């Protein structure tokens, strides 16, 4: 029985989809003005694993992950670069897809872009105005009247009075209340703009997700996810928009992942303390990055450092080494009645506890090493595959990975191994030992067997 932590309820709840056997799920994706960083990778990987487990549990999943391709930051960055917003977003989307493929993320069922759904946004705003929950202002903007929605604050646990007392809000003379937020922005010279009943303009940020989720999933669906920083105001405002327009529940389960932290601070572009995915992939294999993220529970904070990344690599190496020493004879179906599979399932059914599921993988790998069982090796590969891990040829993984400047290449390693074999054949053991030491100094570990010498990177 799958349980999930529902941010709205502030507790774990048994997951029951609206429609038996089918899950409709929306996750707030990227604002495409710059390269994705590791904090983004954490969010995207967390929900990729959730989708994979839902599939493994027998659900048909309609997974929608949006792209914000119109935004103040996009406009500012395109002006700085001297290119159109469309040119900037197309380039950034292509770069994002390249990075996420290296992290072994599955593509979503739908990946809508905000600019494709402006008509739907206008329709929701019209509905809110008709119900008295939004109002056009004299400056051409349209605002949501927060005090006209009684449930405002139920996701974040913030009351309107507390927000007024404790939150810094914009002072805008066109708003009826400082907490009101913009749904539609009047056009400014040189900015992208669309026709609307209130004049030319463009949508605010929050309204886009209400429109895109409604288009692909309907006005009431199962799961909405995103980073914990989106709880307020973005997801709170989504609820106000969608429930304010349709007068019924918007989402049943709200899931939020924890931050990636660098030296104790949240990693973010606004703080300037971030590493892009591409920065990290210069030094670590994409599957190592994925393993680093997956081995922590999605709701817990993750500390990032090179030392912790190296530790993740060592752990993934151990799992792949078990498969290398005892390769599965065939891709066998997972035996869900086995003790390992049962404990793996129990972990994943407990709010997607990947940290516990990974611990089961290590136990299984140790048993594979002890027993030499190809059947258990197949189970290891099958269970790990649910997390998007261990699906490559073990030797290719162990010998692969990014080659930093000055690092020894695979071709050089093979040449040295051949030279060492010739030295051993000539009984020149001093030369043989020198070559082994040279390889080890370059991070290459040799493993001799009756079949010859194999190698892996440390």
Q: pLDDT (tens digit, 9 = 90+) per residue, 195-221?
A: 999 999 999 999 999 999 999 999 999
115 DSSP 8-state letter: G
C-alpha gyration radius of the chain: 26
- pLDDT for res 328: 84
305-398 adopts what CATH topology? 1.20.120
Model pTM greater than 0.85?
yes
Give domain limits for the chain: 14-261, 305-398, 410-457
- pLDDT for res 168: 56
Binding-site residue set for Zn(2+)? 28, 209, 234, 238
pLDDT band at 402 (very low <50, low <70, confident <90, very high): low
Average pLDDT over residues 344-360: 98
Give the residues across from 37 on adjacent strands.
276
Q: pLDDT (tens digit, 9 = 90+) per residue, 247-275?
A: 999 999 999 999 999 877 777 766 777 89
Average pLDDT over residues 383-391: 97
Q: The CATH number of 14-261 is which of 3.40.50.620, 3.40.50.970, 3.40.50.1400, 3.40.605.10? A: 3.40.50.620
Q: pLDDT (tens digit, 9 = 90+) per residue, 112-129?
A: 999 999 999 999 999 999
Q: Which residue has the higher pLDDT, 274 or 152?
A: 152
- pLDDT for res 448: 77
Beta-carbon contacts of 56 under 8 Å, excluding residues fewer than 6 positions away, are 348, 386
pLDDT band at 403 (very low <50, low <70, confident <90, very high): low
Binding-site residue set? 28, 209, 234, 238, 269
Residue percentage of the chain with pLDDT more than 90: 78
pLDDT of 170 > 60? The answer is no
146 DSSP 8-state letter: G
- pLDDT for res 290: 98
Alpha helices in 82-229 (DSSP H): 85-102, 118-130, 160-166, 205-217
Q: pLDDT (tens digit, 9 = 90+) per residue, 286-331?
A: 999 999 999 999 999 999 999 999 999 999 999 999 999 898 876 7
Alpha helices in 326-373 (DSSP H): 339-349, 354-371
Cα atoms in the 13 Å half-sphere on the side-chain side of 66: 29
Average pLDDT over residues 214-236: 97
Binding-site residue set for ATP? 269
d(CA 51, CA 63): 8
296 DSSP 8-state letter: S
Percent of residues in the chain assigned helix, strand, coil, to nearest 5: 45, 20, 35
- pLDDT for res 419: 80
């Amino acid at each position: 029985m799958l349980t999930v932590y529902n941010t709205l309820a502030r507790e774990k709840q048994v997951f029951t989809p609206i429609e038996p056997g089918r899950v409709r799920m929306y996750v707030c994706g990227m604002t495409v003005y710059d390269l994705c960083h590791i904090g983004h990778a954490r969010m995207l990987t967390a929900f990729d694993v959730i989708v994979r487990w839902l599939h493994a549990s027998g659900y048909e999943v309609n997974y929608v992950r949006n792209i914000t391709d119109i935004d103040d930051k996009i406009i500012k960055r395109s002006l700085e670069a001297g290119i159109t917003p469309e040119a900037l977003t197309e380039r950034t989307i292509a770069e994002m897809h390249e990075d996420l493929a290296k992290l072994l993320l599955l593509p979503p069922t739908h990946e809508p872009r905000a600019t494709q759904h402006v008509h739907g946004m206008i329709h929701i705003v019209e509905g809110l105005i008709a119900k008295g929950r939004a109002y056009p202002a004299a400056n051409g903007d349209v605002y949501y009247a927060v005090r006209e929605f009684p449930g405002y604050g139920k996701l974040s646990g913030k009351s309107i009075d507390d927000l007024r007392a404790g939150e810094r809000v914009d002072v805008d003379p066109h708003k009826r209340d400082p907490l009101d937020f913009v749904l539609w922005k009047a056009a400014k010279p040189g900015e992208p703009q669309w026709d609307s009943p209130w004049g030319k303009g463009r949508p605010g940020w929050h309204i886009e997700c209400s429109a895109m989720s409604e288009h692909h999933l309907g006005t009431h669906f199962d799961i909405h996810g995103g980073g914990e920083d989106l709880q307020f105001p973005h997801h709170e405002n989504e609820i106000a928009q969608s429930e304010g327009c349709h007068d019924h529940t918007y989402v049943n389960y709200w899931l939020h992942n924890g931050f990636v932290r660098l030296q104790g601070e949240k990693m973010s572009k606004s703080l300037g303390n971030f590493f892009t995915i591409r920065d990290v992939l210069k030094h670590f294999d994409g599957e190592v990055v994925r393993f680093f993220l997956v081995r922590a529970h999605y709701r817990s904070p993750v500390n990032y450092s090179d030392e912790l990344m190296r530790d993740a690599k060592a752990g993934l190496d151990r799992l792949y080494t078990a498969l290398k020493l005892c390769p599965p004879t065939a891709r066998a179906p997972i035996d869900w009645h086995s003790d390992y599979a049962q404990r793996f399932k129990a972990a994943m059914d407990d709010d997607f506890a990947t940290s516990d599921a990974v611990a089961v993988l290590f136990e299984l790998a140790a048993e594979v090493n002890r027993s030499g069982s190809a059947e258990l090796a197949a189970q290891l590969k099958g269970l790990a595959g649910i997390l998007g891990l261990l699906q490559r040829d073990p030797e290719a993984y162990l010998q692969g990975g990014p080659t930093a400047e000055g690092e020894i290449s695979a071709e050089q390693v093979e040449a040295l191994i051949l030279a060492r074999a010739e030295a051993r054949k000539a009984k020149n053991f001093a030369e043989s030992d020198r070559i082994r030491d040279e390889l080890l100094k370059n991070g290459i570990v040799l493993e001799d067997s009756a079949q010859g010498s194999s190698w892996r990177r440390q």
